[in-house]
Amino acid sequence: MTDTTQSARPEEIWILGAGGRIGSAVTANLAAQGLKPVLVGRERDGDRLRKTAVDLGSRVVIANGIDSIAAEITRQRPAVVFNGIGNYAQTAPVIARACMPGGHYLDLAADLTAVPRLLDLDQEAEQSGSTLVTGSGFGVLATEAVVIKLCQDRPTPPPCASTRWPRCPSAPESSAPPSPPP
């Protein structure tokens, strides 16, 4: 019996959307490092993906639609899945769950809907031995979304005290918390 907490294909890194601009760039970067990523794409991109895969000594998985992709991930158990297909608010939770248990997931999400949806899977991922990384491109919005999530239910810090930067207000002299703005 296979231990389902481990990837069945520990050497495989799947690139979802490998036929697109971002996916092909990620594929090229991994190949330049001597890795052989698995190219995952739609049938309409199949010929181009197959040619690239031959050049890399890699392989192709054709899967049309999010449910088909998730089913293949669940069946084949790659070690790492990079989601470059976009619409992360919809695709990230489905694909990330398909990676569990034991597989790892990352994407480029950079919006305030997608990032919290993936972060909400944190305990499930931790219990299954998976790592989920969102906003891996670290655009400004993705970074801010992570900070917002981490700061939820925490007290607001006092204003900064600085005379070096004119845009940063000085902290009040007293130790009392600042008054809210009018």
What pLDDT sits at residue 177?
53
* Mean pLDDT rounded to a whole number for the chain: 82
Cα–Cα distance between 125 and 90 in angstroms, integer? Answer: 18
- Arithmetic mean of pLDDT, 84-111: 92
What pLDDT sits at residue 159?
65
Give the DSSP letter string of the chain: ---TTS-SEEEEEEEETTTSHHHHHHHHHHHHTT--PEEEE-GGGHHHHHHHHHHHT--EEE--SHHHHHHHHHHH-EEEEEE-S--HHHHHHHHHHHHTTT-EEEE---STTHHHHHHTTHHHHHHHT--EE--TT--HHHHHHHHHHHHTTSPPPPPP--SS-TTSPPPPSSSSPPPPP-
pLDDT at 181 over 70: no
pLDDT tens, position by position, 117-146: 999 999 999 999 999 998 887 565 556 666
pLDDT tens, position by position, 15-56: 999 988 888 889 999 999 999 999 999 898 889 999 999 999
pLDDT tens, position by position, 74-91: 999 999 999 999 899 999
Cα–Cα distance between 19 and 23 in angstroms, integer? Answer: 6
What pLDDT sits at residue 152?
78
171 versus 100: the higher-pLDDT residue is 100
Nearest to 69 by CA among 47, 51, 90: 90
What pLDDT sits at residue 2?
35
Confidence band, pLDDT 50/70/90 cuts, at residue 14: very high
Do residues 132 and 104 touch, judged by C-beta distance below 8 A?
yes
Tokens of 54: 């031959």
